[in-house]
Structure 1
Amino acid sequence: MAGKTLPLEPVINIIVNLAARSAVRKAFDLALLVGATTVISQEERVKIYSGISEMLEDGFTTDDRLYKAAALIFGQAKKPQRVAIGCIGTVTDIPEGGGEPVTRSETPVETFAACREANGEWYVGIYCAPITKAEHLAVAEYMEAIKPNNLYAYTTSDADVLTDAEGNIFASMKAKNYRRSIGQYSSKHDDAICAIIGWAMGAMTGTAGSAYTIAYKTEVGVETENSAGVFASSVVEKIKSNNGNVYINRGSYYDIFEEGTMADGTWFDEMIFLDKYQNDMQLSLMDLLYQNNKIAQTEAGMTQLIDAVKEACQTMNRVG
């Protein structure tokens, strides 16, 4: 055998091409529940759990509000694979002109902003702690302005929404045309909205024919408003006239969530699927630019761009 050999490439040259890497598409199937807890530190801020048993193992108890909210998320007919839990932190303010620093709890907006910085994968945020009407409106304003897109879901037991009193939370949200907030009236559960959001997150499979609406679905773990007494149709209509939502029984047999609208009247399913559609188109085009040396400003180059968008369109068409 020769002591010094020559390469084989002039005779046999094999080229191995690996498939180009594409960005992972956001599934829009992860809800974030934020609340007061010592299980998750402010430094960690957000933690992902695949079930309530993991939460118990981590130190949550069955009496914790976040645990009960997560139980609704995971307890629906369509179950998501994960839930994100975030903690409400503290902020130290230094008074102008000097003075002793003052430590306080974060506002809901500050908490959601910190959770977004810690983990940007979640899509629907739910505040599982005492919150005022003004704070609801502040979070709704925040959700309208941020990018990438998120939604805000909340539960209210404010009796003002039943009479359509001036300034009630549903009417206030509607008046501001907030498209990224969805509210539910419930006198039965502090975080009833978690049930329908859990169902929606579980339904976001991306498989053929998996499109859905949250209208007329059952909220497992939540009592209907008329389960133990009269809840007048006129009250239901007042809630719905302000684009609020409510869980009621109809015809004795059907426990249903009505109607599935955002504060401005847009359907929830329109929002989530349009957000996913936008995200998929952006990533398809970005993948194309990232994986190629150049996209020519010619008819052939434009065809490449169109084909990338077409792929996202076809995927959404299969979903329904």
Structure 2
Amino acid sequence: MSTTGLDISRVVNVNVALLASGASVRNFGLPVIVGDSNVINGVQRIASYTNISSVATAFGADSPEYKACLLYFSQNPTPAEVLIGRWLRTATSGFINGGILTASQQLMSNWTSITNGSFTIHIDGSQQDLLGLDFSAQTNLNGVAGVITAGLSGATCTWNGEQFVITSATTGVLSLVGYATPEGTGTDISAQLKLTAATANVPVPGFAAETALEATVALYNISSAWYIEMFAASTMPSDDDFVAIAAFIEAASISRVLFITDEDSRELDSTYLTSISTRLQSLEYTRSAVTYGSTNAYEMASVAGLWAGTNFEGSNTLPTYMFKTLPGVTPETITETQADTLKAKRCNVYVNYVTGTPIYQEAVMSYQLYMDERQSFDWLQNAIQIAVFNLLLESPKIGQTDAGMTAIINTINSVLSQAVTNGMIAPGVWNGPSFGNIVTGQNLQSGFATYAPPISSQSQVSRDARIAVPIQCAIKLAGAIQSVDILVNVNR
């Protein structure tokens, strides 16, 4: 075979192009549990955990965040992830975390030989020169931190098992700790502490105290991943706080929901009309849900675990959240009248039945919608949005033609077909208003119908702006049976 001659690309030219990656549909079961424990700082704000042991290690088993996550991860199937967000309920101090010391760097022999240690650091804007630090009598790194604390003014040094941390004694926005630098005399330990600009983490400033709403807004702006918000804090938000948060969630452009557990027994009183459930119902908020629970302030974490288990890409996978169990939650024993009161207030409850099997009921949002409807509507909106976006992204061009509109409609219909598969949509009669070629009383044999007018009907202004003609969809919800009346006729 000849190894010389013309390049074959003169005849066959091949280029391999990696197509742009499409966007992904959001996770409509991922919660953020918002707490006030001093674990996640005000710069980080939010952290992800994939199991209860990692939450216990970070927060401790007595923390509100752990107690809420325990209910969340106890659901079946076990959720894959939870986000925990920080509420700066009280003002915080500025601090700096040093770099992590290796095992060899943690040996006390590195320190006991130092009798004149020194370094410079700025605390709250003022320079402090630490001199004559004597570690010769210390037996562990906690002792080293204690010697440094004695040399500081208005700050403390601690050893957390892997790094040194210097924290200002003040709080608020003026509370600041800078990097350590050599002082110039004695034995410099700034690098050994790993508190220099080259080795330490970025200093975290202090923060002023914030409201629960301000925490929600901060978490909203920092992450678009979470869908469900609930609080688990040492001091919980007030009802007024929850109303303000619910208003924000309702108006926000990114779809979210707010879960509230109300321990107030006045929820059971039909004459008490200022409970949080009644207030949210009167405001017609469809993105908030309240559960009455007298023994656990975090019951809704278990409900969030139910939502996390919903798979919109499966077959017949969409549940109604009524009749479900809440592992780890003590069910309420209430009267028929109290159950009717809660139902009228659209306040959910985990309740005992005479069968011995407790169930979660009524599984509703504060106004108009069932829980499964709220979640499904948000998934459908996002799934259609992402599918059409990816079509535009991955295609060389979608023509402003009837064929182009057909491509968009086919993309939408593929999502609607999945909504049939997962159990959200089912065949039925369209009882809504007529539009396009879809009429009231029409049988939607596939459970949905999609309509777009001819491209020729489009105005020149819209055509010049490269806007598609409007697309309208009619869908028939599969619904869910949550109560049954049975009449048995007997003939002797």
User: TM-score if structure 2 supplies the norm length?
Assistant: 0.60
Give the match for residue 376 of structure 2: 273
The answer (yes or no) to whether the contact 1:78–1:203 under 8 Å persists in 2 is no
Task: Output the CA distance in 2 between the equivalents of 1:219 and 1:78.
Answer: 12
Corresponding letter in the other structure for 1:308: T
Task: Supply the distance in 2 between the matched residues of 1:259 and 1:150 (Cα, whole angstroms).
Answer: 20
Deviation at 1:188, TM superposition (A): 1.1
Choose which of 210, 213, 221 in structure 1 pairs with 2:328: 221
Matching of residue 307 in structure 1 with residue 427 in structure 2: no
Correspondence list, 1:274-293, <5 A: 274-293=377-396
Secondary structure of 2:308's match?
helix
**Change in CA separation of 1:205 and 1:296 when aligned onto 2, cut-off 3 Å:** closer
Query: 1:110 and 2:214 equivalent?
Result: yes
Instruction: Provide the residue aligned with 2:306 in structure 1.
Output: 199
- Secondary structure of residue in 1 paired with 2:76: coil
Residue equivalent to 1:155: 261
Percent identity between the aligned chains? Answer: 27
Which whole-Å CA distance do the structure 1 matches of 2:392 and 2:312 have between them?
Answer: 27
Q: How does 1:2-17 map to 2 (within 5 A)?
A: 6-17=6-17
Q: Which has the larger radius of gyration?
A: 2
Who is 1:97 aligned against?
none
Shift of the alpha carbon at 1:200? 1.6
Q: Name the CA shift for 1:247/1:91 in 2 (closer, same or farther; >3 Å).
A: closer
**Which protein is richer in helix relative to its size?**
1
1:110-150 CA-to-partner distances (Å, cap 9, x unmatched) read: 11111122221110000112111111111110110001100
Structure 2 match to 1:95: none
- Report the residue type matching 1:183 in the other structure: V
Give the secondary structure class of the aligned counterpart of 1:149.
coil
CA drift of 1:48 comes to: 0.6
Q: CA deviation at 1:259?
A: 0.6
Q: Which residue of 2 aligns with 1:132?
A: 238
Q: What are structure 2's unaligned runs of at least 5 residues?
A: 92-171, 175-206, 424-492
Query: Cα RMSD between the aligned structures?
Result: 2.2
The amino acid of 1:52's aligned partner reads: I
- The count of residues paired between Structure 1 and Structure 2 equals 308
Aligned to 2:281: 174
Q: Is 1:52 the equivalent of 2:52?
A: yes
Report the alpha carbon displacement of residue 76 of structure 1 after superposing the two structures with TM: 1.0
Contact residue 28 and residue 307 of structure 2 kept, 8 A:
no
Higher relative contact order (CA 8 A, sep 6+): 1
Residues 75 and 326 in structure 2, CA contact (< 8 A), matched pair in contact too: yes
Change (3 A) 1:12 1:295: closer
Runs (5+) with no aligned partner, structure 1: 93-99
SS, match of residue 9 in structure 2? coil
Matching residue's letter, 1:285: V
The answer to whether residue 261 in structure 2 is matched with residue 262 in structure 1 is no
In structure 2, C-alpha distance between the alignment counterparts of 1:248 and 1:189, rounded to whole Å? 13
Aligned-partner Cα distance in 2 for 1:281–1:9: 42
Q: With structure 1 as the length reference, what TM-score do the two structures score?
A: 0.90
Shift of 1:204: 3.3
Measured after TM superposition, the shift of residue 10 of structure 1 is 1.6
Give the Å deviation of 1:205.
5.5
